[in-house]
Structure 1
């Protein structure tokens, strides 16, 4: 299908890309690299899935008593981790299904579009949640655990590294996807606060910076800033995507040129020898 123009209607949806990008690494000339990519996907999907199950089953320090454990689902960090893990599992399944496919043998199927949607829906939020945590929530009184580092660091770092390995596209006009994630959580937090909900420590808010009952103006400013941050991050990741494609394309053209020169030199040597 090929890459569509960034400002075309097709780029606003999920059809303006080559199908192989939705299940392959950027470099796919060598089968060994495709195998590595598949193993990469499986290892990280298992890691994040096991971690998510563990955090739900193990005793934690973020709630007052066992009855508050269900409030795991009210926190932005956990929303992000859950969505990110689902995206990893879907990505792994799609890459496994597409391992033996070739570019010309498969159109863009619905599950590939779902993979693309989840990838762009969750990539920016993993990074922003980490930035917001370390900038606004963490202080010297906060107890750091392995959970903290995974949910506010490892997932975001994985996103940044994976961006240079995967062939998954990022479209400029898909900026609404991370913004949608942020908007959904903000609407939830408003409804939760005004419904009298409390966090796991009995406070009348989920996060102090999102206390709609106490200071709705500040919460609104913070929310708008977070959504703007998600959009900005999306365009930064879009820039990285474009740079990745150019770098791989440049390296590929140099390798092809080197191979062509080698073949030409061998041909000339054969001609001279025969002469």
Structure 2
């Protein structure tokens, strides 16, 4: 598919939906045929994310229930949930694929006896081409991926541009390392991305803005008792600035960040194609040398 064809396909009405003909792209890496290293990567990242999240919450003396009103808390929690679900789906897919491969010899023998035709077993990397309807939990996971990744990057950008940086360990993990984790995950996984899926993180942004309005209207205060969560979302003291920031964050900054995720996916797909072409040429070259 050329770049022009890819972009035209991105702007079709059906691209708003959560449909995909291969669910394995959500649980496997396109870089390897043997998926065990990717399963171990998922396990390591899942363990890391849980430990970091619980440790920060347990050791951060500044943490109070009011902290849950902050966008950073929402974003980091969503990222943690996404990583845990990623590991679960990856383990499940690997276990099912491994069980299928172990059972395949018996099936092959039975089919050969019945039809006289020798069937070949599909490898773990090859069987991802099957076309199955995407289960509902994969769709939910895809939407979660869109929201957590786009807003994770958006939170990082907004924090370092609008806030006075806090260089505490918790702040670094919540506002910088989170995006590093996202970029690495995009590049090593096979997770797809569609431009029109910006509607999902956009919906999340609208929900959060409505939450901040309700929180302010019901008398909610910041960590130090100020009548706002963020100084630039002071609906009582400076409603014009608050409205401008809310609209720009949800309608401009978030779609830009979703485009960043989309761009990373395009880069990954291009690199994977180059890697596979090079590997194919190397195999052909080795076969030619062996034949000589």
TM-score (norm 1): 0.85
2:267 to 232, 243, 246: 243
Q: How many residue pairs end up in the alignment? A: 254
Q: How does 1:20-39 map to 2 (within 5 A)?
A: 20-29=24-33, 31=34, 34-39=35-40
1:113 to 139, 145, 160: 139
Aligned counterpart, 1:172: 195
Aligned counterpart, 2:186: 163
Task: Give the match's secondary structure for 2:188.
Answer: coil
Task: Give the match's secondary structure for 2:39.
Answer: helix
> CA separation of 1:137/1:37 partners in 2, compared to 1, >3 Å: closer, same or farther?
same
Between the aligned partners of 2:60 and 2:181, the Cα distance in structure 1 is 26
Task: Give the match's secondary structure for 1:202.
Answer: coil
Aligned counterpart, 2:51: 50
Between the aligned partners of 2:154 and 2:130, the Cα distance in structure 1 is 38
1:212 to 235, 250, 255: 235
Q: How does 1:137-216 map to 2 (within 5 A)?
A: 137-139=163-165, 142=166, 144-216=167-239
Aligned counterpart, 2:113: none
1:99 to 66, 75, 94: 94
Asked if structure 2 preserves the Cα contact closer than 8 Å seen for 1:121 and 1:178, the reply is yes
Between the aligned partners of 2:80 and 2:267, the Cα distance in structure 1 is 26
> Alpha-carbon deviations, 1:107-154, whole Å to 9, x = none?
322222222211111101111112211221125xx4x32101110111
CA RMSD of aligned residues (A): 2.0
Note if 1:79 corresponds to 2:80.
Answer: no
Asked if structure 2 preserves the Cα contact closer than 8 Å seen for 1:10 and 1:16, the reply is no
Shift of 1:238: 0.8
Task: Give the match's secondary structure for 1:163.
Answer: helix
Between the aligned partners of 1:260 and 1:51, the Cα distance in structure 2 is 46
Note if 1:88 corresponds to 2:112.
Answer: no
Aligned counterpart, 2:42: 41
Shift of 1:179: 1.4
Between the aligned partners of 2:130 and 2:266, the Cα distance in structure 1 is 25
In structure 2, runs of 5+ residues without a counterpart are: 1-5, 98-126
TM-score (norm 2): 0.81
> Alpha-carbon deviations, 1:216-258, whole Å to 9, x = none?
1111111122121110111122122112112111220221122
Note if 1:135 corresponds to 2:136.
Answer: no
Between the aligned partners of 2:75 and 2:49, the Cα distance in structure 1 is 12
Shift of 1:56: 3.3
